[in-house]
Amino acid sequence: MYTNASSAALLTLQELGLSNEYVYPAFLFGTLTYMCIMFFNLLLLITIACSAKLHRPMFILLFNLPISDMLGATALFPQLVYSIVTQNRLISLPACFVQAFLVHFYGTGNLLILSAMAYDRYIAICCPLRYNAIMTPLCLVRMIIFIWLLNFSIIGTLFLLLKRLKLCRTNIVDFYCNNPSLLKLTCENTSVNNYYGLIFIVFLQGGSLSIILYTYAQILHTCVLTNQPDARRKAIQTCGTHLTIYLILQINTLATLLAHRFEGVSPLLRRALGVSVLIFPPFLDPIIYGLKTKELNSSVL
């Protein structure tokens, strides 16, 4: 028998399944992971902000990535570690909506930022003589504002469509709140939400992938034609770092979204994929950029 969850104070997140002996090790691991994510990303932000030689379009665009990563990590870890130590998996409906909004805002933001960075690398490598004329400070500001406004518009519309639905269940099927798990709480027709979700996936995932494929095909072509081995090596190293980070996020995100749309997918696998989206990119992004980008590496040291 279903209850009206729209007026209910609390929802129930999926149980973590931790025995008593693993509660405090899990709490410690989650807390340390969150602290490491915040420290590494703050270090990246401070390095870019304080080093004058990094005040270039590539690194100014990169500056937005740790901000997005910290939002994603903060959406998951504080609530998760609190529920681990208290063994309380209840969450209020407003808090659930906020968590879900931040989770999707983070994922969409990262894909948009990485797509903009791919465009920057394309201009820098394929049109070096026109780079300063194209990537002007005004153009850069417009790109950053457009990224965050588009992100807010896409995710805001997603949750406005969700907010109009009346919920009749209270059990979230995932370890944290997200749009697909909240949709499963409603007994109303979700066709509009599903169509918007599909358009959202095609537009965002397909659009960003198209940008990456086109820009990297042009970059690869330019690198093959260049007669300067040092320039070719630097271009491949920079683009390889960016491509690694993009693929980690793209594959994880797409797999998680598709897992919600196919009933045959194991719930355990779906939950593991969902958590990995919020752990691996925020943890690995600053480390990979710090180790693989020469300018950042030398600035930190």
pLDDT tens figures, 100-132 = 999 999 999 999 999 999 999 899 888 888 999
Q: Per mean pLDDT, which range of 43-47, 162-166, 290-294, 296-300 is the poorest?
A: 296-300
DSSP assigned state of 1:
-
Residue 261, pLDDT above cutoff 90: no
Mean pLDDT within 185-205 = 89
Q: Model pTM?
A: 0.90
Residue 217 has pLDDT above 80, yes or no: yes
Helix pair 93-126, 207-225: axis angle to 10 deg: 20
pLDDT score of 4: 47
Q: What is the pLDDT of residues 279-296, one digit of tens each?
A: 999 998 898 887 766 667
The answer, yes or no, to whether residue 38 has pLDDT greater than 70, is: yes
CA torsion sign for 160, 72, 194, 9 is negative
Q: Could you tell me the two tokens for 80?
A: 């998760």
Query: In the structure encoding, which two tokens stand for residue 14, read together?
Result: 């999926």
Q: Where are the domains of the chain?
A: 10-300
Pick among 3.40.630.30, 2.60.120.10, 1.20.1070.10, 3.40.50.800: CATH of 10-300: 1.20.1070.10
Mean pLDDT, rounded, for 176-205: 90
Q: What are the distances in angstroms from CA 112 to CA 74, 127, 143, 164, 279?
A: 20, 22, 10, 27, 19
Q: Which strand (E) or helix (H) includes residue 59? A: helix 57-86
